[in-house]
């Protein structure tokens, strides 16, 4: 029950109770939570307090209101800290999410004509990451040809690029710069990502520096934000 003597506001206490019931599965995804009047009577509080609690759950993206119907539990968005130096595989595994990767284009030397790409020629490969059977993101990697020449002899399937670089080239990234854009899905990726040709997608460009070389790796990540929330943790 609610504690009127607690420093925590009553609406917040109720939101915590409802959140716990959602997390436990008592209120399953797609189910309707009790109406405001029922909750007000059950917890001996006013409807405005109940409304505040539900507003908080809406902001937390645990429920959604359907006009004239009620408030329903929705599937919680999975938040992935994709932008750390640990790499894509680590970002998903830290959340306990299993992924599958497949190589879209094997490693090859590629000529480049792009103002954003620091290379004129580079070792290039592309891979698709899926969760279950749902495609989540495509990564295009461009590596310094002189530094990473030996990667052509390494089986990269299903392996973290960060781990390959660390274990085979004994290099750790020091820092990176990255940019974020919403762009049209490249024509060559619509099928792989399961999107329509007029769809928009989040593009993250990343320039990675190493002690041995600046801009040793440049990457482009095309991320489906309808599948996951991609976040970045800044500071301590």
- For residues 138 and 193, give the distance between their C-alpha atoms in angstroms, rounded to a whole number: 8
Task: Please report whether residue 3 resides in a domain.
Answer: no
Last residue of a domain, one of 57, 73, 89: 73
Kindly report, residue by residue over 163-221, the tens digit of the pLDDT: 888 888 988 888 888 899 999 999 889 999 999 888 999 999 999 999 889 999 999 99
Which has more confidence, 93 or 140? 140
Task: Tell me the residue range of the domain where 20 lies.
Answer: 10-73
Domain count, the chain: 2
Task: Please report whether residue 4 resides in a domain.
Answer: no
141 plus 224 within the same structural domain = yes
The whole-number average pLDDT for the span 23-50 is 94
Kindly report, residue by residue over 82-126, the tens digit of the pLDDT: 444 445 655 666 667 778 889 999 999 999 999 999 999 999 999
103 plus 207 within the same structural domain = yes
Task: Please report whether residue 16 resides in a domain.
Answer: yes
Kindly report, residue by residue over 52-74, the tens digit of the pLDDT: 999 999 988 899 999 989 999 99
Residue 177, Cβ density class (10 Å: 0-12 exposed, 13-18 middle, ≥19 buried): exposed
Under the banding of pLDDT at 50, 70 and 90, the label for residue 229 is low
CATH number at residue 83: 3.40.1410.10
Q: Which residues contact 119 (CB under 8 A, 6 or more apart)?
A: 112, 142, 144, 145, 215, 218
What average pLDDT does the chain have? 87
Alpha helices in 159-219 (DSSP H): 161-169, 190-193
- Residue 235 has a pLDDT of 45
Q: Which residues contact 235 (CB under 8 A, 6 or more apart)?
A: none
């Amino acid at each position: 029950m609610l504690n009127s003597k607690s420093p925590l506001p009553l609406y917040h206490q109720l939101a915590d109770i409802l959140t716990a019931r959602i997390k436990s599965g008592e209120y399953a995804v797609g189910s309707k939570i009790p109406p405001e009047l029922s909750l007000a009577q059950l917890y001996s509080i006013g409807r405005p307090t109940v409304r505040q609690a539900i507003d908080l759950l809406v902001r937390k993206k645990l429920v959604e209101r359907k006009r004239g119907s009620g408030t329903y539990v929705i599937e919680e968005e999975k938040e992935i800290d994709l932008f750390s130096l640990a790499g894509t595989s680590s970002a998903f595994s830290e959340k306990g999410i299993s992924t599958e990767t497949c190589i879209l284009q094997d490693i090859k030397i590629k000529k480049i004509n792009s103002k954003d790409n620091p290379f004129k020629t580079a070792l290039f490969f592309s891979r698709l990451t899926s969760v279950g059977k749902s495609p989540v993101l495509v990564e295009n990697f461009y590596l310094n040809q002189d530094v990473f020449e030996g990667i052509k002899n390494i089986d990269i399937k299903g392996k973290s690029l960060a781990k390959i670089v660390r274990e085979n080239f004994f290099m750790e990234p020091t820092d990176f710069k990255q940019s974020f854009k919403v762009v049209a899905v490249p024509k060559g990726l619509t099928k792989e990502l399961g999107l329509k040709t007029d769809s928009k997608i989040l593009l993250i460009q990343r320039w990675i520096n190493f002690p041995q070389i600046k801009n040793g790796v440049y990457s482009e990540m095309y991320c489906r934000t309808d599948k996951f929330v991609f976040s970045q943790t800044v500071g301590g």
